[in-house]
Each structure stands twice: as structure tokens, then as C-alpha cells.
Structure 1
């Protein structure tokens, strides 16, 4: 029987796995994917996450690749308006974060078990039995569900995921190359029509992360994201002749969702990261909140495994992190609305969402 089984090998699951392995806990990590992804996704680490990674021994690897500051270059109706410098953490692609964590985990003797899909969970007072889709059963003392917003772990537990969401995508996103476009700034083009496109140069690569208002067809319906659509949006909003977007290695769409689990512990099973809460992207708090979830869950599990245990120890994780999740949802929803409104003014961009305007709940 392993001490802790972790489902999901994103930043949350890998942070938890490294933390536990460093403390001598026997841990396994499974993932339904067959291999790691190579997508920029969440691209900003805040100071609290950097401190967690320093303790895990991966900070130097990340800072050697990422950028500690970034210039936001803002345009309106095709005209350059101003530049704003920010230095709130570290700009780096999510795939690069996960790669550094996987390598650290391998140094600790643990490797992600890809192609392992969770199918059923049973538990009693002594542990958890996780049945995989291929019939394999893994016995563990505790299970941590770090398997994303569509968490199989959460669904198998029957935990409600309450909140609101939009069916229509608010943005199309992806990773592309843009030969000829300067890589010294995060380009942010907005228009008086309320549309926009952003291209952020990803450190350690020759690609940009693209975020844009969806293209719409003749019926006003959003056009599915594609390289061809990305180019039409770029021509429409950036109005920079001669730049052709190429090599779209990631193409997706993002919808506004503000949801959280009604509870993040069910006996010996816990939820963390997007499995427990999803929120708007403004401020870059999603991945960072998951990393902090992992740090707290690690402390909880180590205390349960090495001390007298008991319900009081296990209850601590939910008592600490559920209020934080509720606060982050409210905060990021406010930040997102602020950004949407601000970019209608020439010279304003995503920097307006980097700070909160309301004190934390309970402050």
C-alpha cells in the first residue's frame, strides 16, 4: 500500500508529489494522458509559488528559463500608445514548470504513470482503493485529486461543483510563432470595436502565447479556433502588415467559469487545484492557488502519516483552503470585469488586473 496516490500531473499534483517525496512519503502519481503536454497555458508564477519551488529545489531551474519582468506594449486601433513594465513574479510556460517538477520528482525516485485512468474509488477507515480503467487496483492510505476542472476524482465522489459559467468562449488561445514580431514585449492590441489580440513571447522558446477575442461568422457565432482564424484576427486587430503566424502547436478556447467544490475532503480523499476551484484568468491566480493548495495538503498529509492523525488533522486542509478558494473566485471575477472594461481605454491593458482592489475576505 502506497502512502499517497495523486491523480493528475499538472503543477498542483507535481508540487504535492515533490513535497511529499522530499519528506520521505511513499507517493505515486497517475495521469490519464499518455504523455506530457507542451502548452504554455498558465504562464505566471507569483512570489508565494516561487517560495514553494525554492523549498522543493526547482527554483534555480525555473529562473534560469523564465523572465522576472515583462514589458506590456499596448496598442489601440493599430497605434502604439505606451509601454508598461511589470515585475510581479516569473513569466514561464506551464509545460516548462511541469518539466522541472517531473525532473525533480524523478530525482526523488518517482515517475508519473501515464495512461492510467481513474475509474472508481472505494475507501474505509484504513485506506483508499483506486480502480483504473484497465482493471488495475492501487491501494493507498490517502488519495489526492489534482486532475483539473473536469476532475474524475471529484465526479466519482459526487461532490457538487457550484457556481456559474458561460457556454460561449470569451477567448481563443494558443501557441504560435510570429517571425518578424519583436520579442522584447508582450504585445496587446485592442480596438474601439471592443476586440483585441495579445501575443506574449514565451521565454526559452521562439513562440508566443496568443489570446484573442473570438472571430465570428456571418451569423454572429464564434468561429472555432485555428491557425487560419488566428491570422484573420491578427490582421483585424493588430493591423501589422507582413507578419504571418505559423506553427500553431496549441489551439484552444477559454470560457469564463467561476466554480468551486462544496467540499474538498471526502474521508481519505482530497481535492486540490482546478479539481477544487476554477476562476477567471485575470491576475494569474489559478495555477498559483493550486500550488498553494498542494503545499497545504502536503503539510496535512505528512501530519496525518507521521503523527497521531485523527479527524482534526485531516479537517485542517479544508478549513484552511476552502475559504481561500472562495475569496480567489470573488477576487478574480472582479479583476476580470475590471480588465474587460479597462481595455476600452487607449493605453490600458492586462496590468489593471494584476492587483486586487478589495481586501481579502475576513481581513
Structure 2
């Protein structure tokens, strides 16, 4: 084997998965067909749940330093400021959600941060290596490369985008719809004549369509987005982009001093029919393609990686049964479908950006990995399958306790199990134990938090805890 896991695609999904596996001691090789990381800003919004993931992966400080909050939108007409637009519903900060609002970081910078973290952990990205086919057997997967030669791993994760070569090679279809027939332009530019305290909205006029110009936090660049009439052949040249800006705003063409990257797309929503075929898994855009409205695509993709990473680690190096990997599709495909509906609704103006788009309410209550053993849990109370919120327990911040590739047992307002009942007994992974008074977000009881920050098991006594943990192998 060349690696325990081969990851095809060095976008946010593949890099986040590489980081998660590397910190678990899993040898993962990331293949990228391009000669460098993606250079554009396309996925620029990080939702609060993804910020929590990045906290756990050890990159939150770098992400904070690289970006900023979303500014207020400024609406222009005929060169005059005529109003403001707030992109998100306001949310009050709370102890259980320390990252309370979306954070703007251009996609290229997010990838640089993840790639640096991967290298720090001893992982690698192999550039200029395009996967064009694969075969798999009982022991592993062999990937054929465009330049000749092969790479072999015990499993393969396709994180190679919406046109995934791996997905096509597997014959897995995608079911979807066109969200908007109007083509869109997105470009990173240097531009003069606009402040960086707002993002700038130029409503349609005189037969033109929408133009929006965003200052990209942490850079000197702006992102230009523009919509065109159905059937338009979008001009991606610098002169073409200057023409759009000049025709739809009060800025002259020469205000666009540099075009650093440009692309076009047609907003669509699609979901892969399966997320797994044998030893091959689909993640990110290879599994689901979103409209960019609402900022759900990159975030859902990173969380695919986060869900899959601990499970691959447990199976490949921790002695967990291979059946654990069946839960990846079980848990993530319904979430992806839900987020596709959400992003499509935002695009069509049917849904506001608010609590749902922050992704803090997502969970796995119906998962086969979830066990709620308490009786008569009050309506609205935290349950097994829910995201484990932050809190302070007798001076210990829970997100600090969760950080790392381990399980965590919270004994809140009750005694922690000890002796033969201690978590990590025969056949189960070791859990870090945090005990103390019960914070309001939780209430009294025992809460076993999975390595990806969701509550796997709850109880009022330790009965059944060791049996639950034994499902995940001797070292977790």
C-alpha cells in the first residue's frame, strides 16, 4: 500500500480530511490534479459549526487571523448610496456557541491554512497527479493516474468536486435540478473607488442584471459576482469583467486594475445516489453540489470530512469493525439533502439566512450510532445525537476538553464511573472524563461525546456505557 487512505482532491474537503487522519496517525496521501492549490475565493463563508470544526483541527487561530466578519451591504443607484442590506439575521452570542456569526475567508486562503496544518502533521499533497480510473479488491483500491502509474491505498475518498472523475468511474449517478438557469460570473479583482467597510450591491437597471462586489477580508482583493440572462456566453477575460463592472455600476472600466481569477457557473443542486461503493467514499462536491447562496456547500463538505475522519481512523488504525463506515452515508446523506434544500431556498428568496444556515442545529438523532438511554427526556432538552455545545464545567471549558481525536465523557451533576465501570474498559476506546456541576445547556447526567463533537450516548447511570464503547474498537 502507498497509503492507508488515498484522498483525491486538495480542496477544503480533502485537506480537512487529510488533517483529521494525520492527527490520528493514519497515513493519508492527497492527490491533486492541478499543479497548485485552487487560486480563487469561491467558497468564502465559514459557518459557525465549521469554525468549531476548525477549532478542533487546530487551525482556528490562523482562520481568525486570515479573515473577518461580513460587512453590511451598501445598495447603490446611479452612483448614490440608497440603502443598506444585512445579509444575516442577527444572533445573540452565547456560551454554548462561541462562534456566533459567519466568518469570511477566501477559499484559497482556507486551503493554504489547511495545507500548512497537514504538512505540520506530516501529511502531504501530491500535485500534478490526476486520477482517471480505479479498481478495488478485498484489500484495497488501486487508482490509475493520467500520466501513467498507479497509487494504492486501503480505501479511497473522492473529494474531487462536482465533476468527480472518481464518482463517474464508479457509475454513481447524481439526482438534481437547475436552481437558476441564469449563468453567474465570479472573479477576484483589485478595484479602485469602493470602500472596504461594506459589500456593494448594484441592483439591475436598463436591462442589466445584478452586480455585487465584496471586499475579501484579510486581502486587498474584491470578489465580483454578476448574473446574466439565460443563454449568455460569459466573457471571463479582464476586458469582459471590466465591461460588466462599468455597465452595471458608477465605476469606470479602468477601476478594475487587475483580475486575479475568474470563473462562471450555473447554479444547480444535486445529490449523489450513494456516498459509498465498497472501499470508496464520496465527500464534498463529489457527493452534493449546492447553489452558493447561503454558504452551505463548503461548510457541508468540511463536515463530511469531519464525520468520515474519525471513523476511518477507528477502522484503519484503531481496530474498530469495518461496519462502522456504513454510518458515514447513513448520517451525512440526509444532512446533505437538507442543506441542499436550504441553499436552494435561500437562492430563490424563500428562506432567510439565520439559525439554519449556521449549521449548529444539525445532528444525528436517528443514527444507528446514537443511544439515548434516559427516560422521559424533557421536550427541547439536549439528546443523544445532538451537537455537544460549549460550556464551562468547574473551570474547564468543554471545547478545550473536546479538542483532539478522543472521546469525552461528561459526568454532570453526577459521579463519573470508576473502577470496572470506567470508560475505556475491555474492548472499548479510552474517553477523557470531565466531571462537575451541570451547566444549563446540558442538565444532569452522563454524556459521551464522539470525536466529532456529537453526543453518541447518554444515561443517568453507567449501565450500557462500556457496551456502547466496545462497538468502536480498543483504541477508538
TM-score normalised over the length of structure 2: 0.68
Task: From 96, 107, 123, give the equivalent of 1:94.
Answer: 107
Aligned to 2:39: 38
Alignment of 1:238 onto 2:249:
yes
Q: Report the alpha carbon displacement of residue 73 of structure 1 after superposing the two structures with TM.
A: 1.3
Mapped to 1, the partners of 2:356 and 2:348 lie a distance apart of 12
User: Are the counterparts in 2 of residues 282 and 353 from structure 1 also a CA contact under 8 Å?
Assistant: no
Match of 1:344 in 2: none
Secondary structure in structure 2 of the residue aligned to 1:72: strand
* RMSD over equivalenced CA pairs, Å: 2.6
Counterparts of 1:23 and 1:140, CA distance in 2:
17
Number of residue pairs the alignment of both structures matches: 348
Q: Are 1:196 and 2:207 an aligned pair?
A: no
Q: Provide the secondary structure at the position in 1 that maps to 2:69.
A: coil
| Shift of residue 76, structure 1, vs aligned partner | 4.4
Q: Point out the more displaced range, 54-63 or 301-310.
A: 301-310
For residues 315 and 301 of structure 2, the distance between their equivalents in structure 1, rounded to whole angstroms, comes to 21
- Of 209, 212, 215, the match for 2:226: 212
Aligned positions of 1:1-363 closer than 5 A: 1=1, 2-76=3-77, 78-84=79-85, 88-165=101-178, 169-192=182-205, 193=207, 195-214=209-228, 221-240=232-251, 244-338=255-349, 352-353=352-353, 356=356
Instruction: State how far apart, in whole Å, the 2-side matches of 1:109 and 1:309 are.
Output: 24
Report if the CA contact (8 A) 1:215-1:223 is conserved. no
SS in 1 for 2:14: helix
SS of match in other structure, 1:288: helix
Measure the CA separation in 2 of the matches of 1:308 and 1:360: 28
TM-superposed CA distance for 1:271, in Å, is: 0.5
Contact 2:199–2:215 (Cα < 8 Å) also in 1:
yes
1:19 is paired with a residue whose SS is helix
SS in 1 for 2:124: coil
Aligned to 2:92: none
Which structure's CA Rg is the greater one? 2
Counterpart for residue 455 of structure 2: none
Over 3 Å counting, the alpha-carbon distance change for 1:149 and 1:278 in structure 2 is same
Q: Which blocks of at least 5 consecutive residues in structure 2 are unaligned?
A: 89-99, 366-476
Residue deviations 1:171-207, cap 9 Å, x none?
1110111122211111111135572111101122211
Higher RCO (CA-CA < 8 Å; seq separation 6+): 1
Q: Is the Cα contact below 8 Å between 1:227 and 1:246 reproduced in 2?
A: no
Identify unmatched segments of 5+ residues in structure 1.
340-350
> Post-superposition shift, 1:239?
2.3
Please give the alpha-carbon distance, in whole angstroms, between the structure 2 residues aligned to 1:269 and 1:242.
48
- Hey, what's the Cα distance between the residues in 1 that align with 2:33 and 2:163? 12
Query: Contact 2:158/2:286 (CA < 8 Å) preserved in 1?
Result: yes
The Cα of 1:56 is off from its aligned counterpart by 1.2
Larger deviation, residues 186-195 vs 6-15: 186-195
Query: TM-score, length-normalised on structure 1?
Result: 0.88
Conservation of the 8 A alpha-carbon contact between 2:133 and 2:169: yes
Supply the distance in 1 between the matched residues of 2:181 and 2:289 (Cα, whole angstroms). Answer: 17
